[in-house]
Amino acid sequence: MSAEKTVLAVLGTRPEAIKLSPLVLAGKQRKQFDFLVCNTGQHRQMSDQVLDLFGLQADFDLDVMRAEQTLTGITVDILTRMQDCLDRCRPDWVVVQGDTTTSFAAALAAFYRKIPVAHVEAGLRTGNIYAPWPEEMNRRLVSELATLHFPPTQSAAENLLREGIAPDRMLVTGNTGIDALKGLVKRLADDAMLRDRAANLLNAAGLKTGSWSQGRPYVLVTCHRRESFGAGLEAICTAVLRLANRFPGYDFIYPVHPNPRVRETVNRLLATGIANVQLIEPLEYLPFVRLMAEAELILTDSGGVQEEAPSLGKRVVVLRDETERTEGLETGLIRLAGTDPEKVVGFALDALEGRWPLADSADVYGDGRASERIIDAIAAHSPL
């Protein structure tokens, strides 16, 4: 007997792969679904690594990424190549996640075919279309295209209600990224071979062994958003240098994003021979979770890290002027610094000198069951 509904989950970046993998796994457990995966290849290597970690493979590969490709080029390529993918699998639903160029272009391609779209992690807003850029506009446009909306929090749902989305078309589910995190943390605790795999990947990325395996404390740094390119990233690097000089007993570990503009700035300003600044290669999700779980402090502009850190009880300095994830601020574990070196250094001093105490972990972004709720909602909703 054929499946009742064919569902196509479209991803292209590492965050999308992380947050959609638990959903795909949950969907594959249901007999009424034929759950398929399309990888646009927007971030080829990083998304493939995540799928492999979760035991998944893409059923369709759009292979869109090219060197120095513009946002326009990526969007056009995804729209064009999605046509063949949709013709071949004829899905009843297309599922997209978040706010990437992949999610926007895939939702638009589905809309052109009158295929209903389910939007995971819907309703996040800063109110500024250029912060984050282009993500804020991407997610607003996906909200216009979607049939079902799955906001992770009540505040995200309220954003959608203000924009005129009907309550019966949305469900607050929690964040599927927390499903992925909780599952992986449990696997790391239970599986010595997986812990060794994470350690080997950290070493292969260039991390000095003593930094994390022999009790030496460290601060984890990540920064990759487009709005930080240029002066913003330079200011962040300045703050890291000041902190590294102030705290020689701490390592400052920075997995540097592969974007050439990020690498040029970071290498120019931080690859200066300071012993306790470690610039390493981009990390797969598995070693990154292990590194994050043992960090004293995290400096980041990542939305996903803002969600994950409260569940791990970690303090985070957010390197953005605005955040759409305001619930984390209320836990006391997250502070918003922007790219101002004085604020970044000041908040870090509070953490490392004992004025910003650790708090209990807080599951403000989910309880690990978001994927099941989303699958239930799609199963209950008849396609258009």
Catalytic residues: 99, 121, 135, 224, 226, 257
- Residue 52's Cβ-count burial label (10 Å; 0-12, 13-18, 19+) is middle
CA proximity to 117, closest of 109, 125, 129: 109
**Encoded tokens for 47:** 């998304």
Helices (H), the chain: 14-28, 44-53, 71-89, 101-112, 135-145, 154-162, 176-190, 192-204, 210-213, 231-246, 260-270, 285-293, 303-312, 327-330, 341-352, 370-380
3-state helix, strand, coil in the chain (%, to 5): 50, 15, 40
Dist CA 384 CA 310 (whole Å): 38
245 φ, ψ to 5°? -70, -35
Residue 60 contacts residue 77 (beta carbons within 8 Å)? no
Dist CA 99 CA 300 (whole Å): 18
Dist CA 113 CA 297 (whole Å): 46
In terms of residues, how long is the chain? 384
Dist CA 176 CA 85 (whole Å): 25
